[in-house]
Amino acid sequence: MAGFELIRRFFGNEPGDRRAAPRSGVPKGAWVLVVDDSATIRAVLGKMLNQDGHVVLKAPDGETAIEMAARERPDLIFLDIVMPGMNGFAVLRALRRDPRTHRIPIVMISGNLQATEQFYVQRFGADDFMKKPFGRGEVFARIQHLTQSGRLVVRERTAEDVAPAAPEHTEAEHAAIPDIAMPDPLDLAASSAEPS
């Protein structure tokens, strides 16, 4: 056992090091808008992105997302499909029609089986898709793919661009956020209640 500890210390794999270490091959400092009606998903995805040095903006609904995207012009958007009110497909269409936001890469996310199937059948102009539950590796695989394909380019910010001022969580709350984003129970209930 002592040999294993020595190897772990030599290679820097102390607990927490792996998750806190930035991934190679992805840009740093991207402004990322996370759109999901689940506060838990926003927190988990926000934590993953913050740990890699990205600025995270969050929207709880489609209307807020469209407004924030036009105002902040993020470098990347993670967009939930199943949301009350304006769903992710409607948000995606609105963002693609607006000249200020039409080039922003968008990764659709969902844990709802029917929404997932609908996405794959119709594509709707999104750049990628990520199924819930997802972990840190999945998130950064999507970012790396968009970077390598030339879709994700982190734009330089000016002095007028102001990142969110205060963290929304204390250190203890941040540490309590899980490392895997599970589907919202409402997504699962909706997919099992809808006829096939």
Q: With a cut of 90, say whether residue 70 has pLDDT above it.
A: yes
Say if CB 134 and CB 184 are below 8 A apart.
no
Say if CB 145 and CB 167 are below 8 A apart.
no
Rounded Cα distance between 72 and 56, Å, is 11
Rounded Cα distance between 196 and 7, Å, is 52
Please identify which residue in the block is written with the tokens 């910010």.
157
- Domains of the chain are 22-156+168-190 (3.40.50.2300)
Rounded Cα distance between 157 and 177, Å, is 29
Q: With a cut of 80, say whether residue 56 has pLDDT above it.
A: yes
DSSP, collapsed to helix, strand or coil, labels residue 121 as helix
Say if CB 23 and CB 49 are below 8 A apart.
no
- Residue 168's pLDDT is 59
* pLDDT tens by residue, 98-147: 999 999 999 999 988 887 777 776 666 899 989 888 999 999 999 999 99
- Residue 163's pLDDT is 64
Single-letter amino acid code for the residue at 193 = A
Element (H, E) at 97: helix 88-97
Task: Choose the weakest-confidence range: 34-38, 48-52, 54-58, 164-168.
Answer: 164-168
Report the chain's mean pLDDT, rounded to a whole number: 78
Q: With a cut of 50, say whether residue 21 has pLDDT above it.
A: no
* pLDDT tens by residue, 137-177: 999 999 999 999 999 999 888 767 766 654 555 555 555 56
Rounded Cα distance between 68 and 79, Å, is 13
